[in-house]
Amino acid sequence: MSRGRTFRLAVAMTFAVAVPIAVLLSFQYRSLSDLEHTSLQVLETLSSQTADGLVNTFQSDFRSPRFELAEVDDDAVQRLDLAKVGAVLAGLGRAPVHVESFYVWSRVSGGPFDNRVLEFETRPSDMAADPVERFRPAGAEAETLLGLAEDMVRRRLTIGIETTTINGRPHVVVVKPRTDNMPADPGRRPNDSPIPERLLAFAGYSIDLDKLYNVYLPGAVSSVLDKANTRAIAPLVVTVLNEEGRVVYQSAQVNPGSFVDERTVRLLFFDPSALGLLRTGPWRDRGPSTWTIRTGYGNQSIASIAHASTASHRWQLGLLLVLTAAGLFLGARSLVHEVHLAEMKSNFVASISHELKTPLALIQLFAETLELGRVKTADRAREYYTIIHTEARKLAGLIDNILDLSRLESGVRPFQFEPVDIQDVVRETLRDFENQIAHSGASVTSRFHGRPLMVSADSEAVQVALRNLLSNAIKYSPQHKNVFVEVAREQSQALVRVADQGLGIPRRQRRRIFQKFYRIEGGPDQPTGTGLGLAIVDQVMRAHGGRVEVVSEPGRGSTFTLSFPMAKEQLRLHETDSRDRGRAPDAAGVA
Ligand code: ADP
């Protein structure tokens, strides 16, 4: 298969997988954007719902004593019917924590508590106790309450509110008076009432401001917040500010200026319709106190939270994309590699059959000629024998190569390492190779290091590697068959270089030539081969803990270098020796 077709196949395969994956990922990305949008809306809704929920809770809790008190029968208050009033007030067991006490007073009851302000305990230790037992004479606040009620009647108002101190703590007291000339309109009484009014009785209650701020407010906020936070993807933060803009409560430490929703709630502990009729207290001039409620997500904006909520998914998506791309790349690469390998194998079969057949045919031809006695002269017969011998050696070399590589790869070939002078191995190989060199018309020059270069090596395996390098150097040098062999030392390495002035190897292929079956495609003049020689050299060098490298310039030649790690004792010997002699260790000699 040609390189172009292999490439097209890889591209087609990549597209077949990449396009559906890309479509899937784009859907996934779109759904992430939708998710972000939905998160944004959920966050907005949750914040505004929480703000509204808080307003409702506050309003209903602030009004709760007023509603309860409305149920208390005015006549029963006037008669100081404690059983009846107590039964109603006892039903307020669920009164918010800031509502401290209820009060009743009458000057026309005719009973034992006449003209005495009675306080009803809202939270007794025994809730089941007789409600009548929960009444007791009020403390110093009785004066304030009475004064408030009297003042209201004088000013013809139906509700009174006052801030005062009870038991050393700030309170708000609210009073609902009863006079002897009650108007039909519960708001304002007619100015022209002919009968002078007289305060007969009142009912009222007190709000503990400390408890309102320190107990009620945090409790009420957290009960609303807890419910909201079970649905939130980021914790909601509530900030409450008073009318001066001072933070009176915050559910978490954040900048009070960053919020999503803002609401105001009036601290109305009485009927809103009576707002204009207030007698006194801090509300007279400025209106009722207000709380500003802010809800939000701390210092984070909704958009950033919504974005962050999908960030991890986006990362995962990105990672998936990278992994898929990497997988596709590796898949395509290994496909190209496999196709290429298959291609090389088929080339191998073709060339190996050629490599086997050619020498066999020659051997057969010349052997038959000799056998039939057709050769007349002894010289001609010797020539034929030489040809038969050479071709047989070629065949043996080829078979050796195939067997060597398969044994090396499968690890069947046992290496027998022993300390050898690498120069001896090179010398021996050159000697064995002499005939072939002469036959091919090549010349080999060699240079050796002056002293022994001991390495731990399997001499036979190294010879196989060297033979391959030498035969390549001759084979791929069509014109100048000048081969140079050098043995040298470089730091802790013993180096064997085989240099030629042949075809050279293009840069792109310098790494691949060491792969099994790899051959550089050439024209019809390309020498035959199997693509196994350099793979064997590479395997042998790896087994020796060394390596093979090539430096080449196309058209100018190549230099293959085998580097062997030198034995430690050998290195020490070399160093002592060179110090003793006081000269460079390398000495050149030309063989
Ligand atoms: P073979 O020689 O049987 O093809 P090798 O594994 O020995 O297999 O070499 C692989 C390829 O490397 C060869 O096909 C050749 O193209 C290239 N090659 C090897 N040695 C040399 C050299 N000395 N000069 C130029 N090319 C070489």
Higher pLDDT, 371 or 232: 371
Higher pLDDT, 278 or 50: 50
Does the CB atom of residue 22 touch ligand 1 within 6 A? no
pLDDT level of residue 281 (50, 70, 90 thresholds): very low
- How much is the average pLDDT of 500-512? 93
Q: Tell me which DSSP letter residue 587 carries.
A: -
- Please check the confidence at residue 429 and state whether its pLDDT lies above 70: yes
Output the CA 496–ligand 1 centroid distance in Å.
18
pLDDT, residue 572, reads 67
Matching residue, tokens 């067997």: 403
Does the CB atom of residue 401 touch ligand 1 within 6 A? no
Q: d(Cα 259, Cα 237) in Å, to the nearest integer?
A: 8
Output the CA 529–ligand 1 centroid distance in Å.
8
- Please check the confidence at residue 363 and state whether its pLDDT lies above 80: yes
Residue with the nearest Cα to atom 12 of ligand 1?
Answer: 513
pLDDT, residue 282, reads 47
Residue with the nearest Cα to atom 14 of ligand 1?
Answer: 519
pLDDT tens digits, residue range 138-196?
988 898 889 888 887 777 766 677 788 888 888 888 888 888 765 544 444 445 454 45
CA 130 to chain centre: 66
- Sequence-separated (6 or more) residues with CB below 8 Å from residue 197: 153, 156, 179, 180, 181, 189
CB atoms inside a 10 Å sphere around CB 37: 12
Q: Are 583 and 519 in contact (CB under 8 A)?
A: no
Q: Are 271 and 152 in contact (CB under 8 A)?
A: no
Does the CB atom of residue 520 touch ligand 1 within 6 A? yes
CB half-sphere exposure, 468, CA atoms < 13 A: 30
Least confident of 15-24, 200-209, 281-290: 281-290
| Alpha-helical segments (H) within 411-485 | 422-440, 459-475
pLDDT tens digits, residue range 434-479?
888 888 889 999 999 988 999 999 999 999 999 999 999 999 998 8
Does the CB atom of residue 398 touch ligand 1 within 6 A? no
pLDDT, residue 311, reads 86
- Please check the confidence at residue 312 and state whether its pLDDT lies above 90: no
Instruction: Provide φ and ψ at 92, rounded to 5°.
Output: -95, 25
Output the CA 510–ligand 1 centroid distance in Å.
10
Indicate the top mutation candidate among 354, 476, 558 to test ligand 1's pocket, ranked by most ligand atoms within 8 A of CB. Answer: 476
Output the CA 160–ligand 1 centroid distance in Å.
111
Instruction: Provide φ and ψ at 116, rounded to 5°.
Output: -125, 130
Does the CB atom of residue 348 touch ligand 1 within 6 A? no
pLDDT, residue 573, reads 65
pLDDT, residue 117, reads 94
Closest ligand 1 atom number to CA of residue 519: 14
Across the chain, mean pLDDT equals 83
Q: d(Cα 71, Cα 102) in Å, to the nearest integer?
A: 13
Does the CB atom of residue 160 touch ligand 1 within 6 A? no
Packing angle of the helix pair 378-410, 533-543 (nearest 10 deg): 50
Indicate the top mutation candidate among 466, 472, 482 to test ligand 1's pocket, ranked by most ligand atoms within 8 A of CB. Answer: 472
Q: Among residues 147, 139, 150, which one has the least CA distance to residue 101? A: 139
pLDDT, residue 397, reads 80
- Please check the confidence at residue 63 and state whether its pLDDT lies above 80: no
CB atoms inside a 10 Å sphere around CB 53: 19
User: What does the CA dihedral 454, 457, 460, 463 come to, rounded to 10 degrees?
Assistant: -60
What six digits make up the tokens of 286? Answer: 């400025």
Least confident of 62-76, 180-194, 314-328, 567-581: 180-194
Do the strands 99-106 and 199-208 form a parallel or antiparallel pair, or are they unpaired?
A: antiparallel
Q: d(Cα 417, Cα 426) in Å, to the nearest integer?
A: 16
SS3 of residue 261 by DSSP: strand
In 106-142, which positions are buried (b, 16+ CB within 10 angstroms) versus exposed (e)?
bbbbeeeeeebbbbbbbeeeeeeeebeebbeebeebb
- SS3 string, 427-443, reads HHHHHHHHHHHHHHCCE
pLDDT tens digits, residue range 74-114?
888 889 999 988 888 887 656 677 888 889 999 988 888 99
CB atoms inside a 10 Å sphere around CB 159: 21
pLDDT, residue 184, reads 45
Least confident of 149-163, 356-370, 409-423, 529-543: 149-163
pLDDT, residue 546, reads 95
CA 277 to chain centre: 64
Q: Among residues 315, 309, 313, which one has the least CA distance to residue 297? A: 309
Q: Are 482 and 501 in contact (CB under 8 A)?
A: yes
Q: Read off the amino acid at residue 163.
A: T
- Please check the confidence at residue 130 and state whether its pLDDT lies above 80: yes
- How much is the average pLDDT of 367-390? 90
Residue with the nearest Cα to atom 18 of ligand 1?
Answer: 472
Q: d(Cα 140, Cα 148) in Å, to the nearest integer?
A: 14
Q: Read off the amino acid at residue 403.
A: L
CB atoms inside a 10 Å sphere around CB 456: 16
Do the strands 237-241 and 199-208 form a parallel or antiparallel pair, or are they unpaired?
A: unpaired
Does the CB atom of residue 199 touch ligand 1 within 6 A? no
Q: For the whole model, what pTM was predicted? A: 0.54
The β-bridge partners of 118 are 104, 137
